[in-house]
Amino acid sequence: GQQLNQSPQSMFIQEGEDVSMNCTSSSIFNTWLWYKQDPGEGPVLLIALYKAGELTSNGRLTAQFGITRKDSFLNISASIPSDVGIYFCAGHPWYTGRRALTFGSGTRLQVQP
Amino acid sequence: DTEVTQTPKHLVMGMTNKKSLKCEQHMGHRAMYWYKQKAKKPPELMFVYSYEKLSINESVPSRFSPECPNSSLLNLHLHALQPEDSALYLCASSQDQSQTYGYTFGSGTRLTVV
């Protein structure tokens, strides 16, 4: 299946620090989505990106759809303890043979108060 | 209503049992999905229903049997499962199966097979 390479795998930061994580693929994607998952819950959509170069913010979160359509990043500014969780990138690849979301491997974020 | 509701939240079943997971949404979404998630791993697609017809089966073993009785409901029937099938089972829905929309996920059913 289509591989999405997400990094870093985990991060341990102090409250107030900024965080950056990214996702890359060897293939072109039409859509990039960023989800957050808390323990024992389903993923919650944070930001959706639909056009190459698009930069979108949601509060302290900012995400960009890479110009090459093969990558995306998510930034979290001024982290707080409730930012703890697993962040997944997900996307729809350009080829339409498999019309369902593909997920990256996830970034586990821990925030020290 | 902007939620996907999954029941039960937790399920423990023996390897000879038959059980069903239920998923419901009232957002008028016409695509519904089952994902399986093991600990510390991303969700893995199992099945997709589009307009109540099975659209994708990701080579899932026949001991998992999906059913979409109507546009709001999605079931996953379980029979003769193995301990390695223990996982979080997530249901999701989207407006349709096009690439335009993100998915709304339920909270999942935590399944333990003993």
pLDDT tens digits, one per residue of A49-93: 999 999 999 999 999 999 999 999 999 999 999 999 999 999 887
Chain B contacts of A98, Cβ < 8 Å? 56
pLDDT band for A95, please (50, 70, 90 cuts): low
Quick check: A34 contacting B, CB < 8 Å? Answer: no
**B62 vs B81: CA distance, rounded Å:** 10
At A96 the pLDDT is: 57
Overall average pLDDT of the B4-9 stretch: 98
Question: Over the Cα atoms of chain B, what is R_g?
Answer: 13
Pull the structure tokens for residue B31: 């695509």
Instruction: Name the 3-class secondary structure at B47.
Output: strand
Question: In this complex, do A99 and B106 lie within 8 Å of one another by their Cβ atoms?
Answer: no
CA-based nearest distance A87→chain B, Å: 10
Phi, psi of A81, deg, nearest 5: -55, -35
Beta bridge partners of A113: none
pLDDT tens digits, one per residue of A39-50: 889 999 999 999
pLDDT tens digits, one per residue of B22-81: 999 999 999 999 999 999 899 999 999 999 999 999 999 999 999 999 999 999 999 999
**A85 vs A107: CA distance, rounded Å:** 8
DSSP assignment of chain A equals ----EEE-SEEEEETT--EEEEEE-SS-EEEEEEEEE-TTS--EEEEEE-STT-EEEETTEEEEE-TTSSEEEEEE-S--GGG-EEEEEEEEESS-SS-S-EE---EEEEEE-
Residues A66 and A108 sit within 8 Å (Cβ to Cβ): no
Quick check: B95 contacting A, CB < 8 Å? Answer: no
Quick check: B110 contacting A, CB < 8 Å? Answer: yes
At A40 the pLDDT is: 86
CA-based nearest distance B106→chain A, Å: 6
